[in-house]
Structure 1
Amino acid sequence: MQLREFGKFKELPSHIDNVKFRSFINNCWHNRYSLYDDNYLLNEDEDKREQRFLTFDGNKIKARNYIGFINYEGENITIYPKIFYEKIPENVMDSYLITNLMYWLRNSEKIKLPLVKTDLDFKNTSNFLEIFIYLFAKYTADLIYENPFNNYEEVEEELEFLKGRLNTSAYLKENLSTGKWNKFNCIHEPYRYNNKFNQIIKYVSKLLLNETKNKESISYLENINFILDEVEDANCTVYDCNQIKLNRLQEKYNLVLNFCEMFLGNSSISKTNNENKLNFCFLVPMELIFEDFVYNFIKMKLSKNFKEITKQKSSLYLGDLYINDNFVSRAFNLKQDIFIMDLEDNISILDTKYKMLDSRQHPKFNISQGDMYQMVSYAIKSGCKNLVLVYPKVDGFSDDIKYVINSPFLEDSIKVKVLFINFKIGYEEYLKEIDLFKLYEKQDEIIYKDILI
């Protein structure tokens, strides 16, 4: 089943229980923080308890601004972005979206998507979940074989000799008062292989083993379970992942922990024919993807040209609040998407807008008046005259577009440049280029030319 961002309603397959599916989606909504924090994108008056992934109308669903993949009760639901052409064949859409997602999120800082370098061909893989099962299985199997995870873990037990520290309250209540004064209730931290993190890894591996059909993934997952044979079996949740603290010598295991958080925080387990079945959801807001991509691209490719590149800088306030002529506080914080200072201390403020402009709607081109007011506010409060609105590139725009704002209160004009970048990988180039890394390098070159400011 394929949906388009802000597209039309479609009927859910008959075998999917609407109530249970909605409950699953709502649960994934509350657990999305294991991947990203999108609260700043939501309106203050919105009910943040109710999921915002999909709109329901009886047994029909419609996509909102979140794109990605849902695997539920054997049904694969793909939500692709509005910037994709509608003429792309349905049988190619999933792999095309996966290829773009991997490109957009490869250097992401806001979205905790665990990615490792791999020779796996995303272009010939249409199952998003299978890709991440493979990445987790291969990386984890290699890591725990070469560098087994042992950790100090706090244990409370009754011993005939004092070890660690005495649990005084428990000793007085359970030992001394009952005549067992010669036994000690101790708290100590042994160096254990059978620790909580290994239990989580084993649990996730067994869970994925029931789900994958990829022979290589099955082999890697079986190796993980073989290596962790002495580790106790335990049911684990994403909250168990939150309790794991890794030190700097265990940094390689951060990626494994992120994988486990992703699988456990964005999934549910259902019983189907007496077998555990994994229902999985990976949906990300396109505004967050676009903003994060532009910032990371500038940071990675243009950092040598600038003294400072800062995202979400919030040092500006539109006004000050006075009550009875007494200053109370600053008000109306202006959060700048991307703040840049070049080597000569010239400042630029970039605001990313995930929106498709229309060259036919002259002279505004569908640019929001509120967005333009926001840019003017930046200019007035910061003194910066180099302002840029950044949009995904669409057909119809080939000329440079700039708005000049004059005011008797300002000595110089405020200039707002409209910048378009080739955000998505071209479909024709996607079909033509076999090597995935070359495809990404070519796309980098295209965006590099677009984004020079």
Structure 2
Amino acid sequence: MSKTINLFEFVKYSWKKSEELKDLPKKKKFSDELEKVLDHIWLERNKFIPSENLYYLSKSKKQRFIDFRKNEIVPRNWIGTIHFRGKEDEYIINLLPKIFHNENKNLNEIEINGIFTHILWWLTGSEKQNYSTVENSLEALESNLLEVMVYLFSEYTLDVFSSNSYNYYETVEEDLQTVKGYTDFNQYVNNYARGNHHIIPCVYDSFQYNNKFNQIVKYVARLLKDFTKNKITKRNLEELLFILDEVEYKTVTIEDCDQVILNPIYTEFKTILDNCKLFLSSLSVYKWKDDYSVFALLIPSEKLFENFIFSILKNNQGDQIKRVSRSRPGRSYLAKQLPDKNRFKMLSDIVLKLATNDYLIFDTKYKKIYNSNIDDDELDPIYNISQSDIYQMVSYAIASGVSNIGLIYPSLPSEDKNKELPIYEISDALSDGKLIRIFPFKVDIIHSKGLEFEVIGKLEDVFLEAKNKLIGQLHTVVETIYNFKIETTK
């Protein structure tokens, strides 16, 4: 039996009542096994997940991917796929972005594929996963994010390796009977003392096909081939492995990817390496009690949104922006613990240096904001912007000396796009009444047709209109903040 379960972030799913879970057989066993599997992935996360996100630094031994409650489960802030394959049962659990959730509508297969296509677009802009160059039709694939990503990787990588091979000069240490390169005399002295004066330890550069880059590609290709069910993907990976037959098969890690330095002219190989790094940093693959094989690809949604917006701005700066970075003026820590220890490191999402040499700081917030009509002192009663977000931005402003801070939220598909958000103003009494202004904005990261659009051709062409609109919105955000500053100082 194969069962696909689609779950949205932060939505409550009842074991007994929700459409997604109510028909599952052996719910208790499934729940217990799933929680244990996620606990295992969580404990191993430092091996395959970058460490920038604060969730990664948690000392908790309990997983933070899905909350398991007495009568329900609630996915947290991760998107991706968890794939169980057992002797009799098979489960594919897709964790989907909350911005697409509509409690009044069940999504069809085309719309689910539309969500996956959006995630791929965000990845192409944030982690340099250059799937945009691949001709593809995602409608022909299963509703499984992992299968979609593996398919696109296999198509692109096979296309590159079919017409190019990657060879690289690597330093080789080898015992020879004639000198090649230069002699390691320290080792030769040891050989001579043992009566092996005819053995010369040599160090030389060799133009190697069996290099670390090709070993990484081979390892990832075999890893993915053993799990994919898509016939086209499996065939692509088998052909790729045939091409790499002379390359040594060895286990590699994300650290091995960081050790590979590619010539800038090899842009297509850089794309492949970035994709291998994504898989190695996001996958957890193992056997569970000899009953299940587990294949999980999980991406932190806040980090994906942040990296996507950062990359769009950095690659499309325009005339008014001199530099986009994560380095900001001022100090890096909020407080000093006496006598001399820094505490509470501040991580800026996006720092802009304008052509005028002014600075703006932006923080991305992957949250739904809308008219809440909730009487809560912790929220803006009209826009439900949280008090904690404002506190955080005030601390950024005080530490950096930058008084104009932007908050960037994603727009929701069905909301009023023309509704402006308020500006928050705080008087800093410690700086002679200097005003700190916080500007919330919403930007569109969704196709103009929502989820029902035709996916034919290149991904970059499918989302070209949406990308151009987003670039325009971000430039307007920068202009709005700067012009407001100019008007208020006249």
TM-score normalised by length of structure 2: 0.74
What secondary structure, in the 3-state scheme, does the structure 2 residue paired with 1:401 have? coil
Deviation at 1:79, TM superposition (A): 0.7
Q: Provide closer, same or farther for how the CA distance between residues 168 and 354 of structure 1 changes in structure 2, counting only shifts above 3 A.
A: same
Q: Provide closer, same or farther for how the CA distance between residues 345 and 263 of structure 1 changes in structure 2, counting only shifts above 3 A.
A: closer
Worse overlay, 62-71 or 200-209: 200-209
Tell me which residue corresponds to 1:422. 444
Deviation at 1:90, TM superposition (A): 5.1
Tell me which residue corresponds to 1:3. 7
What secondary structure, in the 3-state scheme, does the structure 2 residue paired with 1:3 have? strand
1:401 and 2:422 correspond: yes
1:103 and 2:117 correspond: no
| Residue 42 (structure 1) aligned to one of 36, 55, 67 | 55
1:440 and 2:468 correspond: no
Q: Provide closer, same or farther for how the CA distance between residues 55 and 212 of structure 1 changes in structure 2, counting only shifts above 3 A.
A: same
Q: Provide closer, same or farther for how the CA distance between residues 227 and 297 of structure 1 changes in structure 2, counting only shifts above 3 A.
A: closer
CA distance in 2, matches of 1:59, 1:166: 70
Check conservation: 2:39, 2:63, Cα contact below 8 A.
no
Per-residue CA distance 1:194-252 (angstroms, 9 max, x = gap):
33433443343344334344444344333323323333444555555454443445553
Tell me which residue corresponds to 2:84. 72
CA distance in 2, matches of 1:129, 1:177: 58
Check conservation: 1:154, 1:188, Cα contact below 8 A.
yes
1:132 and 2:149 correspond: yes
User: How many pairs are equivalent?
Assistant: 440
Deviation at 1:177, TM superposition (A): 4.5
Tell me which residue corresponds to 1:225. 241
CA distance in 1, matches of 2:450, 2:307: 24
Check conservation: 2:131, 2:153, Cα contact below 8 A.
no
What secondary structure, in the 3-state scheme, does the structure 1 residue paired with 2:100 have? coil
CA distance in 2, matches of 1:55, 1:24: 15
CA distance in 1, matches of 2:216, 2:56: 36
What secondary structure, in the 3-state scheme, does the structure 1 residue paired with 2:99 have? coil
Tell me which residue corresponds to 2:178. 161
What secondary structure, in the 3-state scheme, does the structure 1 residue paired with 2:326 have? strand
1:268 and 2:285 correspond: yes
Q: Provide closer, same or farther for how the CA distance between residues 50 and 160 of structure 1 changes in structure 2, counting only shifts above 3 A.
A: farther
Deviation at 1:353, TM superposition (A): 1.8
Deviation at 1:27, TM superposition (A): 5.8
Tell me which residue corresponds to 2:160. 143
Check conservation: 2:12, 2:72, Cα contact below 8 A.
no
Check conservation: 1:263, 1:280, Cα contact below 8 A.
no
Q: Which amino acid aligns with 1:443?
A: A
Deviation at 1:65, TM superposition (A): 0.8
Check conservation: 2:94, 2:144, Cα contact below 8 A.
no
Q: Provide closer, same or farther for how the CA distance between residues 132 and 380 of structure 1 changes in structure 2, counting only shifts above 3 A.
A: closer
Per-residue CA distance 1:64-86 (angstroms, 9 max, x = gap):
11112222324211111222223
Check conservation: 1:29, 1:51, Cα contact below 8 A.
no
CA distance in 2, matches of 1:310, 1:379: 17
Deviation at 1:107, TM superposition (A): 1.8
Alignment root-mean-square deviation, CA = 3.9
Q: Which amino acid aligns with 1:194?
A: N
CA distance in 1, matches of 2:38, 2:344: 36
Check conservation: 2:353, 2:360, Cα contact below 8 A.
yes
| Residue 134 (structure 2) aligned to one of 114, 118, 126 | 118
What secondary structure, in the 3-state scheme, does the structure 2 residue paired with 1:404 have? strand
Q: Provide closer, same or farther for how the CA distance between residues 148 and 393 of structure 1 changes in structure 2, counting only shifts above 3 A.
A: closer
| Residue 55 (structure 1) aligned to one of 67, 73, 76 | 67
TM-score normalised by length of structure 1: 0.80
Check conservation: 1:321, 1:328, Cα contact below 8 A.
yes
Check conservation: 1:164, 1:188, Cα contact below 8 A.
yes
Q: Provide closer, same or farther for how the CA distance between residues 2 and 442 of structure 1 changes in structure 2, counting only shifts above 3 A.
A: same
Q: Mapping of 1:180-259 within 5 angstroms?
A: 180-238=196-254, 240-248=256-264, 250-259=266-275
Q: Which amino acid aligns with 2:41?
A: I
Tell me which residue corresponds to 2:306. 291
Tell me which residue corresponds to 1:81. 97
Tell me which residue corresponds to 1:32. 48
Per-residue CA distance 1:363-391 (angstroms, 9 max, x = gap):
46322223223333444555544332222
Q: Which amino acid aligns with 1:430?
A: L
1:303 and 2:318 correspond: yes
Q: Provide closer, same or farther for how the CA distance between residues 164 and 51 of structure 1 changes in structure 2, counting only shifts above 3 A.
A: farther
Deviation at 1:120, TM superposition (A): 1.0
Q: Provide closer, same or farther for how the CA distance between residues 70 and 47 of structure 1 changes in structure 2, counting only shifts above 3 A.
A: same
Deviation at 1:47, TM superposition (A): 0.8
CA distance in 1, matches of 2:139, 2:308: 21
CA distance in 2, matches of 1:241, 1:351: 29
Per-residue CA distance 1:278-307 (angstroms, 9 max, x = gap):
743222222212222222333344432223
Per-residue CA distance 1:171-202 (angstroms, 9 max, x = gap):
455x4344333233444443232334334433
What secondary structure, in the 3-state scheme, does the structure 1 residue paired with 2:119 have? helix
Tell me which residue corresponds to 1:431. 452
CA distance in 2, matches of 1:5, 1:257: 30
What secondary structure, in the 3-state scheme, does the structure 2 residue paired with 1:95 have? helix
CA distance in 2, matches of 1:377, 1:290: 22
Q: Which amino acid aligns with 2:52?
A: D
CA distance in 2, matches of 1:438, 1:229: 35
Worse overlay, 238-247 or 192-201: 238-247
What secondary structure, in the 3-state scheme, does the structure 2 residue paired with 1:162 have? coil
Worse overlay, 99-108 or 225-234: 225-234
Worse overlay, 243-252 or 74-83: 243-252
What secondary structure, in the 3-state scheme, does the structure 2 residue paired with 1:418 have? strand
1:374 and 2:396 correspond: no
Deviation at 1:53, TM superposition (A): 2.5
Q: Provide closer, same or farther for how the CA distance between residues 207 and 389 of structure 1 changes in structure 2, counting only shifts above 3 A.
A: closer
